[in-house]
Structure 1
Amino acid sequence: MKTKENLFSKKSAPNKSARMVEAIYGCKWSLTVYQLLANGINRPGAMVSHVEGLTTKVLNVCLKRNVEFGILEKITFNELPPRVEYKVTDFGQKFLRILDELEKLQQEIDTDFSSLN
C-alpha cells in the first residue's frame, strides 16, 4: 500500500505572542494606557487623573504586566520626591502596530456584518 508523503506539518499558534495579545486585550485598561502615552501622558498619577474609573492599583498591575512583556519601559528618576514615567519600547511599537491592524480588521468585520443586515 502506498503512503502519501506529508507535505505540511501541523500549524500551531505562536504561544508567547498569542498569550500576549490575549492578556493585553483581556486587560480593559491597556489600550487606554497606550492612548495616554501616545498623547504624552506618561506619569501614573496623571494617567489616573485623566481617566475616569481608573484606580492606582489597577493601573499599577496593568503597567507591570506591560513592562514584563517588554511593551513598556519604566523610567525611575533619582529625585525627591520620586518620579516615575513610562514609555513604549521599540518592541512595543511593533506590538502596537499589530494591535492597530487587529482594530482595522474588527472595523472591516463590523462593516461587513452591518451591510448584511
Structure 2
Amino acid sequence: MKTMTKKISRKTPPSQSAQMVETIYGCKWSLTVYKLLAEGINRPGEMVRNVEGLTTKVLNQCLKRNTEFGILERISYNEVPPRVEYEVTELGAKFLKILDGLEALQFEIEQQQPDTNNE
C-alpha cells in the first residue's frame, strides 16, 4: 500500500508585517508624518507647526512607534539647542511602497462600487 505525502503545508500569515500595517493604519497621524517627510519636513517642531490638530505628545508617540518598527530613523545632532530629525529607513521605503499599493487597491475598489450618492 502506497502512502501519499502532502506536498503543501498550511500557509500562515506574515504576523510582524501585518501587525505593522494594522498599527500604522490605526495611528491616524502616521500617514501624515510620511507625507511631511516626503515634502522634506523632518523635524518634529516643524511637523507640529504644519499640521492642524497634531500635538507634540501625539507626534512623539507616533514617531517612537515608527522608529521601533524600523520604518523611521531618529537622528540626534550634538548641538545647542539640540536638533532631532527623522528620515525613512531602507525598510521604511519598502513598507511605504506596500502602503501605496494598499491605497491604489482601495481606489480601485471604490471605483468598482456603484455610486449610491445619486439615488
The TM-score bracket by the shorter chain reads over 0.9
1:56 alignment partner in structure 2: 56
Distance between the aligned counterparts of 1:61 and 1:50, measured in 2?
Answer: 17
2:98 alignment partner in structure 1: 98
Q: SS at 1:73's partner residue? A: strand
Give the count of matched residue pairs. 117
Identity of aligned residues (%): 68
1:107 alignment partner in structure 2: 107
Change (3 A) 1:90 1:3: same
Distance between the aligned counterparts of 1:115 and 1:94, measured in 2?
Answer: 34
1:36 alignment partner in structure 2: 36
Q: SS at 1:59's partner residue? A: helix
1:87 and 2:87 aligned? yes
TM-score normalised according to structure 1 size: 0.93
Distance between the aligned counterparts of 1:64 and 1:48, measured in 2?
Answer: 15
Aligned letter for 2:76?
A: T
Structure 2 gaps, min length 5: none
Pairwise CA RMSD: 1.9
Runs in 1 of length 4+ with deviation above 4 angstroms? 1-4
Change (3 A) 1:5 1:116: farther
Structure 1 gaps, min length 5: none
Q: Return the offset for 1:4.
A: 5.0
TM-score normalised according to structure 2 size: 0.91
